[in-house]
Amino acid sequence: MSDANLFLIQASFDSTATILAELNALYAPQDSVVLMGDAVLHQQHPLCAQLDKIYVLENDAEILNGHLAENVQPINYAAFATLCLAHQRCISLK
């Protein structure tokens, strides 16, 4: 189990930019981020572009019509569960 945090960004489209600003204050290089729901539409945000460990659920990625940013990794639900179990803390930002 990693000492890193897993941040789950579950905000509405309108709130995601504010949540990403909050994430910027909390994020450390060893942390991982999962964009969920409408938050995936902010994958091109400057903060997201800097992250090495950023994921979206495959089902949520469908709204992007194949326009997934190069650093964003699509994962299925099994990989998401494994990712959650690999981190000591999962923090949901809404």
DSSP 12-74: -HHHHHHHHHHHHHH--TT-EEEE-GGGGGGTTSHHHHH-SSEEEEHHHHGGGTT---TTEEE
Q: What is the number of structural domains in the chain?
A: 1
pLDDT in tens, 25-84: 999 999 999 999 999 999 999 999 999 999 999 999 999 988 999 999 999 999 999 999
pLDDT in tens, 79-94: 999 999 999 999 999 9
- Label residue 12 by pLDDT band (50, 70, 90): very high
Distance CA(3)–CA(13), nearest Å, equals 30
Instruction: Give the domain CATH number at 72.
Output: 3.40.1260.10
**Burial classification of residue 35, based on how many CB atoms lie within 10 Å of its CB (0-12 exposed, 13-18 middle, 19 or more buried):** buried
Residue 57 domain boundaries: 2-93
pTM of the model: 0.94
88: Cα separation from own chain's centroid: 16
- Label residue 1 by pLDDT band (50, 70, 90): low
Distance CA(4)–CA(32), nearest Å, equals 7
Q: What is the mean pLDDT of residues 4-23?
A: 96
pLDDT of residue 66: 85
